[in-house]
Structure 1
Amino acid sequence: MKSLAQQMSFYQRYHRSARNRLTHFFGVPMIILAVMQALALLPLGPSGLNVAHVTVLVLLTYYFLLDVPLALAMTAFFAVLLAITQHLATLSWPWALSVFGVLFVGGWIVQLVGHHFEGRKPALLDNVFQIFIAPMFLMAEVFFHFGYKPGLQRRVQELAAQSA
């Protein structure tokens, strides 16, 4: 398994523009919420669990293997999204479908606008697995902004520069 720094350096090479990264702070959560909304419609028995819960659990397990502090922050982030998803599950079918469409299509449009600013195609076109790294990358960006995890930030920048 590649280290978090290795995976983030690949992602960073496609997201150097501040405007592109800013669009991703909106687009990525929109897409995640839309997908979680759809997965929440797939129940796993009478327990109240659904496929969204299991998907988040699997993803968080992977994140904890990569970096515990970032994974803890991602746990809080996903908890909020799961709470919103539970609310969205109570909407009537037409409203739920409309919300899904706005979030999913809108999220991709916002991100593609960002890649227009960047002048580079999305990272997932070269490595589809980057779709799972995007949320962790954005959380790391928040950490970096506040001065947390400077060693990781340096390592990501070094690796990104080596491959540029």
Structure 2
Amino acid sequence: MNATLERPIDRWFHNYSGDHRNDTNQLIHIFAVPAILWSVVALVWCIPVFGTMFQSGIWAGLAMFATWMFYNRLSRPIGYGMLVAFFTIGCSCRLIEQTYGLQTLLYSAITVFVVAWIAQFIGHKIEGKKPSFLTDLVYLLIGPIWVLSKFYRKMDWKY
């Protein structure tokens, strides 16, 4: 086996990259994937938790923690980066909720989700390949760390 594909994360990235070779599609992904990640967390944030002291955010917190565990298991440095990303996303959701209300967070999340997915499908139309998640849903989790890994490589950080 290729020495660069020994780790599961490298295999995931190798396969994901095969569907993302076009520069325009990659650029779209750099913006759209984090936007989708934020919007999904924000949507889950808006799910009410009746009968507890938590009014919102608990489901999002649990989902972010479970996802972070998956990332951290694939790569500690990627896990640390996603911990920062999830913390930032959680803080932004809380700030929007506290400042403008849960309804604004919900409508913002829906808008961002729809616009970012339209951008993604335009990117894949340009690429001429279907999105990776259509072959394996795990690629919905790989997209954010693939984008993060591009940043790590640019900074010359190991993951």
TM beyond 0.5: yes
Q: TM-score range by the shorter chain?
A: 0.7 to 0.9
Cα distance, 1:147 vs. partner?
2.2
Moved over 6 A (4+): none
The alignment status of 1:107 with 2:116, answered yes or no, reads yes
For 2:155 and 2:101, how far apart are their aligned partners in 1? Answer: 41
Where relative contact order (Cα < 8 A, 6+ residues apart) is larger, the structure is 1
Taking only aligned residues, the RMSD between alpha carbons, in angstroms, comes to: 1.9
Residue matched to 2:3: none
The alignment status of 1:38 with 2:43, answered yes or no, reads yes
For 1:22 and 1:5, how far apart are their aligned partners in 2? Answer: 21
Residue matched to 2:128: 119
The question of whether the paired residues in 2 share the 8 Å contact of 1:8 and 1:137 is answered with yes
User: CA 1:146–1:80 in structure 2 vs 1: closer, same or farther (change >3 Å)?
Assistant: same
In the TM superposition, 1:134-153 aligns within 5 A as 134-149=143-158
- Alignment size in residue pairs: 149
- In the alignment, which of 14, 24, 41 is matched to residue 19 of structure 1? 24
Using the size of structure 2 for normalisation, the TM-score is 0.84
User: CA 1:97–1:58 in structure 2 vs 1: closer, same or farther (change >3 Å)?
Assistant: closer
For 1:79 and 1:97, how far apart are their aligned partners in 2? Answer: 19
The question of whether the paired residues in 1 share the 8 Å contact of 2:93 and 2:105 is answered with no
For 1:36 and 1:94, how far apart are their aligned partners in 2? Answer: 15
For 1:116 and 1:146, how far apart are their aligned partners in 2? Answer: 30
Amino-acid identity (%): 23
Residue segments in structure 1 that go unaligned for 5+ positions in a row? 153-164
Residue matched to 2:78: 70
Using the size of structure 1 for normalisation, the TM-score is 0.82
User: CA 1:40–1:129 in structure 2 vs 1: closer, same or farther (change >3 Å)?
Assistant: same
Cα distance, 1:30 vs. partner?
1.4
Residue segments in structure 2 that go unaligned for 5+ positions in a row? 1-6
For 1:43 and 1:95, how far apart are their aligned partners in 2? Answer: 15
Cα distance, 1:96 vs. partner?
3.3
